[in-house]
Amino acid sequence: MSLAALAARLRARELSPREAVEDYLARIEARRELNAYVTVRAEEALAEAEGPQSAPLHGAPVAVKDVIDVAGTPMTAASAILRDNVAERDAEVVARLRRAGAILLGTLNLHEFAFGALTTSPHFGPARNPWAPDRVCGGSSGGSGAAAAAGLAAGTLGTDTAGSIRIPACLCGVTGLRPTTGLVPTRGVFPVAWTFDTVGPVARSAEDCALLLDAIAGTRTDLAGGVEGLRVGVVEALLARARPEVAAAAEAAIAELGRLGARVERAEVPLLEEAGTIQQLQMLPEAANAHLRFLRTRLAEYGPDVRARLLAGLLLPPTAYVSGRRLRRRYRAGVDGVFERFDLLAAPAMPVVAPRIGEETVELGGEAVPYRLALIPFNSPWSLAGLPAASLPCGFVDGLPAGLALVGRRYADAVVLRAAHAYQRATDWHARRPA
C-alpha cells in the first residue's frame, strides 16, 4: 500500500497506527534476508503508535537511512567505527517527520558511511535487491530502496551526495528524489560532503515522495497540472552511454511524456562529461575532512573501498579543491543556460540494471566498465549543479527495474514531482512489486 493510501486509511480510522506498525514489523521479520534494516525500533514504534497522531501522516510507519539520527537509536552508518554510537537527539528531518505524524520503524542499511554505490558493508552485510536477492540494491541508500520496494516501510528517507538516492531507487524499482541542495536541513545527518549532501524521499511513487518531501522541507507540493506545455530536454549523450535496452525504456518513458503534452526536444549540457571529475575534486577532500579524526585514529577499521576514497581526498593537492570550486561555478552557469530553454531534463536514471553482489564491473558498449565509474556520469551532472533530480521506474530489462531521471531547475522540486506523478498516472511501472 502506498504511503498516501495508508495515511488516508489511518485518517479515516479504518486502520489504527498500532495495526499499521504491527503489519510492517511482521513484514520486516518475514524479509530479514533482505538485510534492509540495521536497527528495528519495534518496542519504541509500538509505544509511539499508542500516542496522539498528527496530520498528514496520521501514524504512518516510515524508516530512515542509518546516517540520520533518531534519538536513543544506534546510528552506525553501517560502519565498524560507529557500531556502538547511539544518537542523542533526532535529526531535524526526523523531528519534522514526527511532527507530520510519522512513526519511526528503524534505521536502514547503506554503503559504509554513505560513501559508495553498492550497500555491501563489510561490517553489516549486503542489502539484497527484492527483485533478485543475489543482486545489489545500489547505494548508498540501498536499505531505503529495498525497504520501499519490499513494503518494509510506508516510506523512507535516504541521502544523496552523488547519486545515493537515485541509484537505489532506480535499481530497486521505486521512486526517489534528490531535492535541491539546501532545501532540506541536514542537521543530525552524518556528512559525506557538506556542499553536496541532501536528504530526500525514497518511496513507491511520486505522490508518496511529495508527502515525505513536504514533511521534511516544509514545502506544499502541488501535483496537479500534468506536463502539458512543459519543455523537456532529452540528454541524448546519456541515452547513448546506457545499455541499449535501458535506453529504450527511458526513451519510451520520454515519448509518454510527449503524449501527455510535454514538448520534447534534444538537449546538450556543457561539460557533462567533466561533471564527475569536477565533483570528485570537491567531494573527496570534503569527505576526508569530515572523517579526519577517524582517519587519524581508526584507519584500519574502514572497509577498503571507503578507506581508499577517503585517503584520495586527503592526498589530493589543496589547489585541486579550489580548481574544483571554480569549475563548479562555470559548470553551473552552463546548466543554468540549458534551463533557459527547458523546464526539465530527461535521461536514463542509470545506464544498467542491478549487478550481482560481488560483481565489480558492468558491461557497457561491449566493454567491462567499473560499476562505480559507469554510474558517475548519470549522477554527478545533477548533484554538481545542486538540481532536484528524481528516478522513477520506467520498465524492466532482464526482469530487473530500469529508471527514468527527471531533473529540474533549482528549487523547482515540485515541477519534477508533478511530471513524475503525471507519468505514473499514465503508466503502472511504479505499481509493480517484486514477488
Q: How many residues belong to the site for other proteins (CB under 8 A)?
A: 26
Per-residue cell: 331 = 559548470
Of 85 and 277, which CB lies nearer to other proteins in the complex structure?
A: 277
Binding positions for other proteins, 15-34, rule CB under 8 A: none
Residue 282: CB minimum distance to other proteins, A? 10
Confirm or reject binding of residue 280 to other proteins (CB under 8 A): yes
Residue 6: CB minimum distance to other proteins, A? 45
Q: How far apart are CA 335 and CA 408, in angstroms?
A: 11
Binding positions for other proteins, 322-341, rule CB under 8 A: 322-323, 325-327, 329-330
Q: How far apart are CA 7 and CA 101, in angstroms?
A: 9
Binding positions for other proteins, 202-241, rule CB under 8 A: none
Q: State phi, psi for 392 to the nearest 5 degrees.
A: -135, 145
Is-contact 247 356, C-beta < 8 A?
no
Confirm or reject binding of residue 299 to other proteins (CB under 8 A): yes
Per-residue cell: 278 = 569536477
Confirm or reject binding of residue 433 to other proteins (CB under 8 A): no
Is-contact 113 77, C-beta < 8 A?
yes
Pick from 52, 220, 296, 428: which binds other proteins (CB under 8 A)? Answer: 296
Q: How far apart are CA 393 and CA 195, in angstroms?
A: 28
CA proximity to 148, closest of 125, 132, 171, 123: 171
Q: How far apart are CA 296 and CA 88, in angstroms?
A: 25
Report H helices in 174-235.
206-217
Confirm or reject binding of residue 311 to other proteins (CB under 8 A): yes
Residue 264: CB minimum distance to other proteins, A? 31
Q: How far apart are CA 357 and CA 134, in angstroms?
A: 6
Site string for other proteins, 237-276 (x = CB under 8 A): -------------------------------------x--
Q: Which of these segments, 225-233, 251-259, 312-320, 343-351, binds other proteins (CB under 8 A)?
A: 312-320
Confirm or reject binding of residue 368 to other proteins (CB under 8 A): no
Other Cβ atoms within 10 Å of 331 Cβ, number: 23
Amino acid, single-letter form, for residue 169: A
Of 256 and 301, which CB lies nearer to other proteins in the complex structure?
A: 301
Residue 310: CB minimum distance to other proteins, A? 9
Q: Which of these segments, 56-64, 134-142, 290-298, 392-400, binds other proteins (CB under 8 A)?
A: 290-298
Confirm or reject binding of residue 281 to other proteins (CB under 8 A): yes
The residue from 79, 140, 205, 380 that is catalytic is 140
CA proximity to 409, closest of 164, 174, 204, 183: 183
Q: How far apart are CA 136 and CA 142, in angstroms?
A: 8
Cβ-in-10-Å burial (0-12, 13-18, 19+) of 381 comes to buried
Query: What torsion, rounded to 10 degrees, do the Cα atoms 148, 154, 159, 163 define?
Result: 30
Confirm or reject binding of residue 278 to other proteins (CB under 8 A): yes
Residue 122: CB minimum distance to other proteins, A? 15
Q: Is 140 designated active site?
A: yes
Q: How far apart are CA 355 and CA 346, in angstroms?
A: 23
Residue 274: CB minimum distance to other proteins, A? 6
Q: How far apart are CA 137 and CA 350, in angstroms?
A: 13
Is-contact 106 41, C-beta < 8 A?
yes
Q: Is 205 designated active site?
A: no
Residue 23: CB minimum distance to other proteins, A? 46
Pick from 1, 314, 364, 369: which binds other proteins (CB under 8 A)? Answer: 314
The residue from 65, 205, 380, 383 that is catalytic is 65
Of 222 and 268, which CB lies nearer to other proteins in the complex structure?
A: 268
Residue 167: CB minimum distance to other proteins, A? 21
The residue from 79, 164, 380, 383 that is catalytic is 164
Of 22 and 301, which CB lies nearer to other proteins in the complex structure?
A: 301
Q: Is 323 designated active site?
A: no
CA proximity to 402, closest of 256, 177, 206, 249: 249
Q: Which of these segments, 7-15, 76-84, 210-218, 278-286, binds other proteins (CB under 8 A)?
A: 278-286
Query: Cis omega (within 30 of 0) on the bond before 140?
Result: yes
Q: How far apart are CA 33 and CA 36, in angstroms?
A: 8
Is-contact 323 281, C-beta < 8 A?
yes
Q: What residues act catalytically?
A: 65, 140, 164
Q: Report the interface residues with other proteins, using CB under 8 A.
A: 274, 277-278, 280-281, 292, 295-296, 299, 304, 307-308, 311-312, 314-317, 320, 322-323, 325-327, 329-330
